[in-house]
């Protein structure tokens, strides 16, 4: 009698070996990470992952009949919302200790990513496929967990990071303006008599004109003058409207909710003969997401050795994030699964992912 968890063990070994191959490819210079990782990321997020979403959401899942799927998505939405509140509280606590706003929305975004950016597709799909013994279930639960990040976390992350870029640009401009102007030496030595009071008045007047820095209180994370710029929101809207993942998700929902996707689901009674190539091509491309991403992950891990100690994450922070992801998040999901009344299969998938 074979061990019940042998398929999961085999899948985990497969994942680790793939990461090691990517790591070794960087070590021996087969594919330099500086060239491979950016191109792999572009390929995954612009072609392969949208193909997987179209196949899984638009063709493989029936949103109009499977009501339990919506409860599954809502559970992950609530989970990410709770993590966002925790990230805000953490940043506010750090600012309170410093008595000034040393952290902002950019730090909230980083913490939020560290807490809840779960690999629901790259790792979640193969592991769920091994546990449930059906690749279709792995894709289904992995993508449904990812839907919450695509429609909720991704847009907010973009807003937070865009604001952070604007704030950093504003800070650089303030610092540049505040730099004293070094006078150029005069060609002829001339004696100049200046009244002390006049000099004092001029220097004071000049210091009042130069911005003295951020005068916000410790609990203020946002300077609303920056958010009032129309160019910021136009740029955010442009990024969201042209995001391949969001476009694929929207098309997938349309295919599923309009019941048009069932005519592309082959083999099935509703499949239209001659259109099998659509689902097969999307599935073929989607199957490349995990192996290519894991290879890039391994190559990227070795490239981190070239970073200075100040650029690397501290071990204590790394352990804290691991504890939060491996213990706190699953325990929180247990409660959410019970509150949303997920069935046994969906509940186990939610906690695992």
SS3 per-residue string spanning 27-63? HCCCCCHHHHHHHHHHHHHHHHHHHHHHHHHHHHCCC
| Averaged pLDDT for residues 173-200 | 48
Determine how many CB atoms are found less than 10 A away from the CB of residue 63: 20
pLDDT class of 218 with cuts at 50, 70, 90 = low
For helices 344-352 and 68-98, give the axis angle rounded to 10 degrees: 30
Distance, CA of 116 to CA of 108 (rounded, Å) = 12
Residues 128 and 141: beta-carbon distance below 8 Å: yes
The two tokens of residue 107 are 């730090």
Burial of 271 (0-12, 13-18, 19+ CB in 10 A): middle
CA distance 84 to 153: 9
The pTM score is 0.74
Write the DSSP symbol of residue 43.
H
Tens-digit pLDDT profile for residues 91-127: 889 888 887 777 788 888 888 888 877 667 778 888 8
- Percentage of the chain with pLDDT > 90? 26
Where do we find the tokens 């706003």?
A: 101
pLDDT at 180 over 80: no
CA–CA separation, 284 and 291 (whole Å): 12
pLDDT digits (tens, 9 = 90+) for 45-56: 999 999 999 998
């Amino acid at each position: 009698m074979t061990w019940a968890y042998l398929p999961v063990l085999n899948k985990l070994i497969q994942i680790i070996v793939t990461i090691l191959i990517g790591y070794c490819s960087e070590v021996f210079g087969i594919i330099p990470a500086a060239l491979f990782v950016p191109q792999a990321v572009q390929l995954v997020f612009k072609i392969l992952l949208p193909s997987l979403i179209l196949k899984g959401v638009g063709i493989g899942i029936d949103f109009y009949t499977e009501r339990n799927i919506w409860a599954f998505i809502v559970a992950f939405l609530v989970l990410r919302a709770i993590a966002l509140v925790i990230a805000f509280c953490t940043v506010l606590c750090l600012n309170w200790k410093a008595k000034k706003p040393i952290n902002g929305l950019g730090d909230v975004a980083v913490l939020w990513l560290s807490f809840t950016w779960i690999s629901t597709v790259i790792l979640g799909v193969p592991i769920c496929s091994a546990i449930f013994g059906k690749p279709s279930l792995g894709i289904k639960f992995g993508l449904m967990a990812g839907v919450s990040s695509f429609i909720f976390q991704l847009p907010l992350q973009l807003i937070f990071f865009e604001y952070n870029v604007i704030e950093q640009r504003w800070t650089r401009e303030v610092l540049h303006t505040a730099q004293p102007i070094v006078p150029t030496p005069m060609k002829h030595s001339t004696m100049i008599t200046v009244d002390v009071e006049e000099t004092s008045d001029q220097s004071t007047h000049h210091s009042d004109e130069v911005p003295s820095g951020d005068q916000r209180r410790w609990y203020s994370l946002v300077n609303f003058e920056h958010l009032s710029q129309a160019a910021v929101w136009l740029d955010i809207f442009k990024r969201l409207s042209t995001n391949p993942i969001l476009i694929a998700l929207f098309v997938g929902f349309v295919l599923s909710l309009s019941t048009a996707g069932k005519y592309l689901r082959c083999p099935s009674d509703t499949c239209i003969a001659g259109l099998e190539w659509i689902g097969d091509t999307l599935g073929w491309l989607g199957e490349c997401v995990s192996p290519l991403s894991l290879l890039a992950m391994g190559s990227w891990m070795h490239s981190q050795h070239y970073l200075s100690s100040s650029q690397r994450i501290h071990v204590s922070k790394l352990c804290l994030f691991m504890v939060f992801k491996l213990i706190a998040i699953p325990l929180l999901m247990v409660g959410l699964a019970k509150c949303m009344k997920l069935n046994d299969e969906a509940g186990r998938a939610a906690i695992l992912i």
